[in-house]
Amino acid sequence: MDTKDVSDFPLAIEGDPAPMVSFRKVTKSYGNLTVLDALDLDVAEGEMVTIIGPSGSGKTTVLRMLMTLETINGGVIYVDGKPLTHMERGGKLVPANDRHLRQIRSKIGMCFQHFNLFPHMTALENCMEGPVHVLGLTKQDARERSEELLAMVGMADKRDQHPSRLSGGQQQRVAIARALAMRPKVMLFDEVTSALDPEVIGEVTNVIRTLVSEHNLTMLMVTHQMGFARDISDRICFFYGGRIEEQGAPDELFGNPQRERTQQFLSAVKEAH
Amino acid sequence: MVDWRWDFTWQILPRLLAATGNTLLAAGIGYAIAVVLGLVLALAQRTPFNPLNAIVREAVEFIRSTPLVLQIFFVFYVGPQFGIRLSPWTAGMIAIGLHYAAYLSEVYRGGLESVPKGQWEAAKSLNLSMPRTYFRVILPQALPPSLAGMGNYLVGIFKDTPMLSVIGVAELMHTANAIGSETYRFLEPFTLVGIIFLLISLPTAAAIRLFEAWTRRKLGLS
Amino acid sequence: MSYFEFLGLYGDRIISGTLITIGLTLLSALLAVAIALAAGLMRMSSNMAVRGVATVYIEIFRGTSLLVQLYWIFFVLPLFGITLEKFTAGFVAVGMNLGAYGAELVRGAILSVPKGQWEAGLALNMSPAKRMRRVILPQAVVLMLPSWGNLFIELLKGTALVSLISVADLMFQVKQINGTTFLSVETFGTALIIYYVLARFMITPSMRWLERFMMRKMGRA
């Protein structure tokens, strides 16, 4: 199927409520290698969806495409009802320009495996950078907002430290605060605990737990922490070979997987732990 | 053995020191041109417009592979052939500035490439604009790894200013040459020139190393 | 005058100048390599006097300009009873100057050979000299070859300065031709292109070849 032709795709997604994120027949390939094959995935507002699967299954690519760090080869991604990868021109969808991308991208925040804090800025400056220079907040307002968020992730006392003085877990918590300071509607967590020492994983997962219970954020997460995923997710998607092999509520998917590949993957993961 | 004449030394020293001022001025102006133009050349090689990248890349390669003294002659003498007369100073500054801009662009390029990809991605995830991403996120991190190279070329441009004497810029070497041909004594002027160069370039090199360490600390990178 | 007429008239002189430039480059390259090895190793000697001599040499030649050194060797050295013919003075100055830079490359490369290699040499009870020659230097050479490629281009460019003491190299010839014809674009432009071709299509490819050759010899390719 030719997914480059987007003339059949809607200009906007209606519905009550409309999904916050919607992948429609999204394809991603590098040369001959297809990473994602006509992916369809909807995420409702306030929903926490965790993507699991073997490495190379395309799970990180899903988040990176949504953050526009990767371009797509076919299909359309919608955010909050509006197309992200495309925009409307004369009643038709055309590939998005920079301005459109910037506009829609502002609804999305992301945390990375390697934190990617700006090393020459303190924790507080990292958090204030976007609010001041992208959202146009006054320094005063941005500072208040950032300090509040740093307090929420338990990093208030380290706000004037540079990242090189912080542990991995502390850096990741600052990174979460930095992303939240932009007031995104969708948060993406890309293997945020994979680069951490085992003893500090808890301090990061606890912050995410708080977010899930106290905020109405839409979240997509890629993780290898199966127990954590089962605890906090509304839905689990198991990716295999560039498609969703199986998805469902955590207890269903972990407790009673239907597909053979899911069973194999889960038992392999269990053995490793 | 050689007769070093101290009276002659004291007699010519003020003249040489005055010329040292011109040498420092030439190095300063040339370096200022090179620092700015080099950044332009480095950034031009990162534009998504491929023909421009290739042309700039090749031009940088060309400038780096050909002798500065020849470039100085070229800039100075080619103008008049087309009715443009450049003063020795102007021609010299253009030539030496351009030459070192090519070198500095390579230094910047290395610095820019040393910034991890994740920094670009984080800037994008925060929706920072392209200029903001460059000036606030990327360049501050590309700077410290570039400082050593920038410092070397500051000393380098200073040591290359004697070549400007070939088109008559009255810097240190030119003055020493003039003294030599007036008095037929070369020992003192040429030796003094060497000593003056050493006395400036060695401490400068040391100061640059300190500055580099200080900058890294200042930016919280070490 | 068309460019072809220009080449017809002055081609011979440009070619003879180019040959002199190539000769100067080869001789000063040989000298630079020899000095670099000697000064680089001396710089790492445990004997303070040996180390001091090398350090003073390197600092003086890196701290002043090639042009200053050239004039000094050509005009001042005769006063000490050492008179060098201008061609010799030319390649000696270039070789000594670039040799000082090369010495730092040698030292840097030797220092970046992993510590385990020194320890393995010691464990085999090799003498320090043998360890250096058989174990450390071959690995250091592979490490420093890419930098030598750049240094040889600097050296080629440096030879242009000997025209200022009237060695009839490429630079000297085009300056003379320009003095009588005032065809600056043709004269200096041609020379620029010749230097570029020498650097880009002779020095760089030969160094690449040498790098590959050494890598194969070390069993790394």
Per-residue pLDDT reduced to its tens digit, C156-191: 999 999 999 999 999 999 999 999 998 899 999 999
Q: pLDDT at residue B1 above 60?
A: no
Residue B160, pLDDT score: 95
Please name the member of A105, A106, A164 whose beta carbon is closest to the beta carbon of B220.
Answer: A164
- Check CB contact under 8 Å for C65 and B81: no
- Check CB contact under 8 Å for B124 and A67: yes
Q: How many CB pairs under 8 A join A and B?
A: 71
Average pLDDT over residues B130-148: 91
Average pLDDT over residues B153-159: 94
pLDDT-derived band at A115 (thresholds 50, 70, 90) equals very high
Q: What share of chain A is helix, strand, coil (3-state, %, to 5)?
A: 40, 25, 35
Residue C220, pLDDT score: 61
Euclidean distance between CA atoms C82 and C90, whole angstroms:
14
Q: Which residue has the tokens 């300009």?
A: C65
Total-model pTM: 0.84
CA-closest candidate to residue B142, choices C13, C177, A120: A120
Q: Is A68 on the interface with B (CB under 8 A)?
A: yes
Q: pLDDT at residue B156 above 80?
A: yes
| Identity of the residue numbered B128 | L
Residue B29, pLDDT score: 97
Q: pLDDT at residue B48 above 90?
A: no
CA distances from C59 to A93, B98, C64, C77 (A): 66, 27, 8, 19
Chains C and A touch (3+ CB pairs under 8 A): no
- Helix/strand number for chain B, H first, E second: 9, 0
- Check CB contact under 8 Å for B190 and C175: no
CA distance B111 to chain A (A): 15
Q: Is B106 on the interface with C (CB under 8 A)?
A: no
The ipTM assigned to this model is 0.91
Q: Which residues pair with A74 in a beta bridge?
A: A27
Contacts of B173 in chain C (CB under 8 A): 65, 67-68, 71
Q: Where are the domains of chain C?
A: 3-217
Q: pLDDT at residue B186 above 80?
A: yes
Which residue in C has a C-alpha nearest to residue B63's C-alpha? C196
Contacts of A159 in chain B (CB under 8 A): none
Could you give the percent of chain A with pLDDT greater than 70? Answer: 99
CATH of C3-217, one of 1.10.10.10, 3.30.70.600, 1.10.3720.10, 3.40.50.720: 1.10.3720.10
Radius of gyration over alpha carbons of chain B, in Å?
21
CA-closest candidate to residue B152, choices B216, B92, B104, B198: B104
Q: pLDDT at residue B133 above 80?
A: yes
- Interface mutation vs chain C, best among B1, B66, B201, most C CBs within 10 Å: B66
Per DSSP, A19 falls in state: P
Which residue in A has a C-alpha nearest to residue B144's C-alpha? A120
- Check CB contact under 8 Å for A120 and B221: yes
Least confident of A133-142, A263-272, B116-125: A263-272
Q: pLDDT at residue A3 above 60?
A: no
Q: Where are the domains of chain B?
A: 6-218
Q: pLDDT at residue A1 above 50?
A: no
Q: Which residues pair with A188 in a beta bridge?
A: A110, A220
Which residue in B has a C-alpha nearest to residue C72's C-alpha? B190
- Check CB contact under 8 Å for B127 and A133: no
Euclidean distance between CA atoms C64 and A188, whole angstroms:
57
Q: Which residue has the tokens 């994979």?
A: A194
- Check CB contact under 8 Å for B124 and A68: yes
Omega before residue A17 within 30° of 0, cis: yes
SS3 A115: coil
Contacts of A191 in chain B (CB under 8 A): none
Q: What are phi and psi of A23, to 5 degrees?
A: -95, 125
Neighbours of chain C (3+ CB pairs under 8 A): B
pLDDT in tens, A208-231: 999 998 888 999 999 999 999 999
Please name the member of B61, B166, B173 whose beta carbon is closest to the beta carbon of C68.
Answer: B173
Residue C177, pLDDT score: 94
pLDDT in tens, A58-107: 899 999 999 999 999 999 999 999 999 999 998 899 999 989 999 999 99
Please name the member of B128, B219, B222 whose beta carbon is closest to the beta carbon of A134.
Answer: B128
Euclidean distance between CA atoms C98 and C22, whole angstroms:
16
Q: pLDDT at residue C60 above 90?
A: yes
In this structure, the strands spanning A82-83 and A108-111 are unpaired
pLDDT in tens, C141-160: 999 999 999 999 999 999 99
- Check CB contact under 8 Å for B128 and A106: no
CATH of B6-218, one of 1.10.150.130, 1.10.1060.10, 3.30.70.20, 1.10.3720.10: 1.10.3720.10
> Whole-number mean pLDDT of chain C?
92
Residue B47, pLDDT score: 84
Residue A226, pLDDT score: 93
Rounded (5°) CA angle A244-A249-A250: 95
pLDDT-derived band at B18 (thresholds 50, 70, 90) equals very high
